[in-house]
Structure 1
Amino acid sequence: MTEQAQQIGGGRRTIGDFAPKFAELTDDVLFEDVWNRTELAARDRSLITVAVLVAGGDADQLAFHLGRAKENGVTETELVEAITHLAFYAGWPKAMTATTVAKRIFAA
């Protein structure tokens, strides 16, 4: 597998003052450990994460991870196509919500 950029979380920065243990787990376990394992490329992890967030209707987290996916080499076209595909598996309303989030994030 090719060398990839180190994935870094922002838990301490965003929620550290309110939920320090959750922030620690986000940064040290989820990002430092899981996201940086070499068995899957960060690009693949991003596609998987976006798919799960769309399927779960998790719009707030989706907004962050769409940006992370672009940083990890997934194109806007690929992300829109993934959301379109997921409409038939995760549900139309969830895909519509995800499309609205993506449109806002990509325009920023």
Structure 2
Amino acid sequence: MNERFDRGVAAIDGLGGGYQAIFEPMADVAPDLSRFVAEFAFGDLYSRPGLAPPQRQLLTIATLIALGGTDRQLSFHIGAALHVGVEPQTIVETIYHCLAYVGFPRTVNAMHTAKEVFAKRGLLPLKAER
């Protein structure tokens, strides 16, 4: 479509996603939505220098937890974090850290989402650390 879009699709693919699998379900309702997300969020923001992909993923996970009601996006970004080399325990610690700032309901819901992603990837049980 354009350079921003192509850069965005490449960024999504670099996170282990697949542009079509993520956005195809909305194509019949809001076909431009996927283009907006690909161009701005991934083509402009995710493609900027200054943060490594693991850092971006942990920031995105924390932000999605704070927003709440973002289970689909949270699931994608937890999977993306794993894809770019973030250890499951680091994701768990990131979720724990959100507890003091966003509260129990959002943190517990996020942990359930993480557990689902970990289970689908055969990463359970995790070794508990304290």
TM-score of the superposition, structure 1-length normalised?
A: 0.85
Q: State percent identity of aligned pairs.
A: 36
- Would you say 1:82 and 2:104 are equivalent positions? no
Q: Is structure 2 residue 125 aligned with structure 1 residue 107?
A: no
2:73 counterpart of 1:61? yes
List runs of 5+ in structure 1 lacking aligned partners.
1-5
Structure 2 unmatched runs, 5+: 1-9, 13-17, 121-130
Read off the aligned partner of 1:20 and give its amino acid letter.
Answer: P
Query: Which of 80, 83, 92 is the matching residue for 2:104?
Result: 92
- Equivalenced residues, count: 103
Give the one of 32, 46, 51 matched to 1:21: 32
CA offsets per residue over residues 36-93 of structure 1, 9 Å max, x none?
A: 1112111111111000111111222111110011112211100001111111111011
Aligned Cα root-mean-square deviation (Å) = 1.6
- What's the TM-score once normalised by structure 2's chain length? 0.72
